[in-house]
C-alpha cells in the first residue's frame, strides 16, 4: 500500500461508524463552552470560618478619583452593613480598604467606613498623581501624607498606575518610572509616619505577551483586553520589578508590602528580594491561583517567610466581572481551604470557568503557628494594632 492509499483507508475507517458506537463528537468545541468536570475522588473540605480571626489586608471598599479626572466624591462599592455581615460569618475581624484616595475624598471615605466601625475597617491613602507634574510636588506629596495620617489613614497604597499609566503630563507623554526621584520624599515620609506602603507593580507575565494561542491567560485577556501591556511603550515586567526593588533598597526604614506576592509566578525571584530587603513583605490577593498550582514551592515559601506574609484577597464587593476577587462567602471559603487544608485540585475562584487560567489548585495545609501569623499577627505588627 502506498502512502496515499494508506491515508485514504485510514480516513474511511475513521468515517465509518462502528455498530453500536455513539456518534463521534463534533471535531470542534468553543473554548467558552468547555467546562470539564474533574473525575477525581479526593477529599473536599468546606472551611466556612477561618481557624483564627482574619485581617484582610487588601480590599477595595471604595474607589477614589481615576487618573486625570477631578472629583470630590469616593465611589463606595458597598455599605458597611453589607460587608460586616459577611465579615462576621467568615471570621474576618478587619478589612483594609486600600483605595481611600487623598484630601477630601480620603476624609469622606474614613468617615463612611472607619469612624463608625473602629477596629473593623482601616483606610489607606493614595498619592495625588494628578499633581505629580507640578513644581513643588515632592514636598507637597510628603506633607500630604502627614495630613492623611492625621485624618486617620494608616498606610499608603500604590496602584500599578505607577509604572504603567502615569505619564509625564499625567495621561500623555512618556511613562513615569517607578523609582523616579520625585517620589523619594513620599517614601521617606511613609517610613517616618509608620505608614506601610502597599505597592502593586507590574502584572502576570502573560499580560506582557501577545494575546495568542500560546498565552495561558488568553480567556482572561480576551475578557479584559485593557489588561494587556504587550507592545506600545510599556516596560517589561523585569524592568518594572527592578525599579520597585530600587525604591525598597533606597528607603530601608519604610516597610513595603508587595501586593500579589510581587511576582507570584516566580517565587525563586521573590525569595531573593525577601532575603535582600528585610523591609519587604508580601500579600497574596488574587494570586492563590498561582501559589496553589505550585503547592510545594509555595509551602516552602510560607515556611521561610512566615513572618512577612499577609492575608489579602483584593476583594471588591459586587466585582462580578473578576470572580477571583468578588467579595462573598465563597471567595473566603476558597482562601481558607487553600491555606488550611491539603485538599487537591479545586477551583481557585467561585466561577464557572477558572477566570485567570485553566488550571486548579492544591491546599497548603499550613500549621497553626503559620496560620496565626498569616491571618492576623503579621498585619497587627505591621500596622501597629
Ligand atoms: Zn487591589
Query: According to the model, what pLDDT value does residue 154 have?
Result: 98
Confidence of residue 27 (pLDDT cuts 50, 70, 90): confident
Q: Which domains does the chain have, with CATH numbers?
A: 43-383 (3.20.20.140)
Query: According to the model, what pLDDT value does residue 262 have?
Result: 98
Q: Once rounded to an integer, what is the mean pLDDT over residues 108-137? A: 98
Confidence of residue 7 (pLDDT cuts 50, 70, 90): very low
Q: Between helices 237-250 and 184-192, what is the axis angle to 10°? A: 50
Confidence of residue 267 (pLDDT cuts 50, 70, 90): very high
Confidence of residue 22 (pLDDT cuts 50, 70, 90): low
Instruction: Render pLDDT for 337-357 as a digit per residue (tens, 0 to 9).
Output: 999 999 999 999 999 999 999
Q: Is the pLDDT of residue 5 over 90?
A: no
Instruction: Render pLDDT for 95-110 as a digit per residue (tens, 0 to 9).
Output: 999 999 999 999 999 9
Cα-to-centroid distance, 313 and ligand 1 (Å)? 8
Cα-to-centroid distance, 19 and ligand 1 (Å)? 57
Q: Is the pLDDT of residue 10 over 50?
A: no
Q: Is the pLDDT of residue 4 over 90?
A: no
Query: According to the model, what pLDDT value does residue 1 have?
Result: 46
Query: According to the model, what pLDDT value does residue 23 have?
Result: 65
Query: According to the model, what pLDDT value does residue 18 have?
Result: 53
Output the CA–CA distances (angstroms, integers) from residue 199 to 3, 58, 129, 281, in the order listed: 62, 11, 15, 10
Q: pTM of this prediction? A: 0.93
Cα-to-centroid distance, 312 and ligand 1 (Å)? 9
Q: Once rounded to an integer, what is the mean pLDDT over residues 151-167? A: 98
Cα-to-centroid distance, 4 and ligand 1 (Å)? 59
CA atoms within 13 A on the CB side of 379: 26
Cα-to-centroid distance, 40 and ligand 1 (Å)? 33
Return d(Cα 186, Cα 64) in angstroms, integer: 19
In this structure, what C-alpha cell is assigned to residue 91? Answer: 471570621
Cα-to-centroid distance, 248 and ligand 1 (Å)? 20
Output the CA–CA distances (angstroms, integers) from residue 127 to 63, 65, 319, 357, in the order listed: 13, 11, 24, 32
Contacts of 117 (CB under 8 A, 6+ apart): 80, 84
Cα-to-centroid distance, 21 and ligand 1 (Å)? 52
- Mean pLDDT score across all residues of the chain: 95
Residue matched to cell numbers 511603550 = 233
Q: Is the pLDDT of residue 24 over 90?
A: no
Cα-to-centroid distance, 59 and ligand 1 (Å)? 6
Cα-to-centroid distance, 96 and ligand 1 (Å)? 11
Instruction: Render pLDDT for 51-62 as a digit per residue (tens, 0 to 9).
Output: 999 999 999 999
Cα-to-centroid distance, 60 and ligand 1 (Å)? 7
User: Which of 196, 318, 178 shows the shortest CA–CA distance to 255?
Assistant: 196
* Cβ(315)–Cβ(289) below 8 Å: no
Cα-to-centroid distance, 147 and ligand 1 (Å)? 23
Residue matched to cell numbers 466581572 = 321
Instruction: Render pLDDT for 168-216 as a digit per residue (tens, 0 to 9).
Output: 999 999 999 999 999 999 999 999 999 999 999 999 999 999 999 999 9
Cα-to-centroid distance, 370 and ligand 1 (Å)? 24
Cα-to-centroid distance, 38 and ligand 1 (Å)? 31
Q: Once rounded to an integer, what is the mean pLDDT over residues 289-318? A: 98
Return d(Cα 359, Cα 348) in angstroms, integer: 9
Amino acid at each position: 500500500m502506498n502512502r496515499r492509499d494508506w491515508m485514504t483507508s485510514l480516513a474511511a475507517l475513521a468515517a465509518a461508524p462502528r455498530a453500536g458506537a455513539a456518534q463521534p463528537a463534533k471535531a470542534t468545541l468553543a473554548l467558552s463552552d468547555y467546562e470539564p468536570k474533574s473525575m477525581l475522588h479526593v477529599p473536599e473540605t468546606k472551611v466556612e470560618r477561618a481557624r483564627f480571626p482574619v485581617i484582610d489586608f487588601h480590599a477595595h471598599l471604595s474607589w477614589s478619583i481615576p487618573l486625570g479626572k477631578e472629583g470630590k466624591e469616593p465611589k463606595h462599592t458597598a455599605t458597611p452593613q453589607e460587608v460586616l455581615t459577611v465579615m462576621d460569618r467568615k471570621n474576618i475581624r478587619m478589612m483594609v480598604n486600600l483605595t481611600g484616595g487623598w484630601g477630601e475624598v480620603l476624609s469622606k471615605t474614613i468617615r463612611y467606613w472607619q469612624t463608625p466601625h473602629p477596629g473593623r475597617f482601616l483606610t489607606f491613602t493614595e498619592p495625588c498623581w494628578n499633581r505629580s507634574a507640578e513644581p513643588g510636588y515632592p514636598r507637597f506629596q510628603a506633607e500630604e501624607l502627614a495630613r492623611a495620617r492625621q485624618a486617620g489613614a494608616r498606610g499608603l497604597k500604590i496602584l500599578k498606575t505607577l509604572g504603567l499609566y502615569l505619564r509625564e503630563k499625567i495621561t500623555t507623554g512618556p511613562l513615569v518610572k517607578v523609582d523616579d526621584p520625585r517620589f523619594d520624599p513620599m517614601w521617606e515620609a511613609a517610613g517616618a509616619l509608620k505608614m506601610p506602603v502597599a505597592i502593586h507593580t507590574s502584572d502576570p507575565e502573560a499580560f506582557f505577551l501577545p494575546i495568542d494561542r500560546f498565552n495561558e491567560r488568553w480567556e482572561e485577556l480576551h475578557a479584559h483586553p485593557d489588561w494587556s501591556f504587550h507592545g506600545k511603550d510599556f516596560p517589561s515586567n523585569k524592568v518594572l520589578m527592578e525599579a520597585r526593588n530600587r525604591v525598597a533598597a533606597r528607603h530601608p526604614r519604610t516597610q513595603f508590602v508587595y501586593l500579589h506576592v510581587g511576582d507570584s509566578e516566580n517565587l525563586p525571584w521573590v525569595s531573593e528580594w525577601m532575603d535582600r530587603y528585610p523591609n519587604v513583605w508580601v500579600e497574596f490577593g488574587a494570586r492563590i491561583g498561582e501559589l496553589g498550582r505550585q503547592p510545594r514551592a509555595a509551602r516552602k515559601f510560607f515556611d521561610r517567610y512566615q513572618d512577612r506574609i499577609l492575608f489579602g484577597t483584593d476583594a471588591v464587593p459586587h466585582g462580578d466581572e473578576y470572580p477571583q476577587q468578588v467579595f462573598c462567602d465563597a471567595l473566603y471559603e476558597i482562601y481558607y481551604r487553600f491555606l488550611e487544608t491539603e485538599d487537591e485540585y479545586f477551583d481557585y475562584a467561585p466561577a464557572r470557568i477558572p477566570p485567570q487560567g485553566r488550571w486548579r489548585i492544591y491546599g497548603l495545609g499550613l500549621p497553626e503557628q503559620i496560620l496565626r501569623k498569616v491571618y492576623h499577627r503579621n498585619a497587627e505588627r505591621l500596622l501597629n494594632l
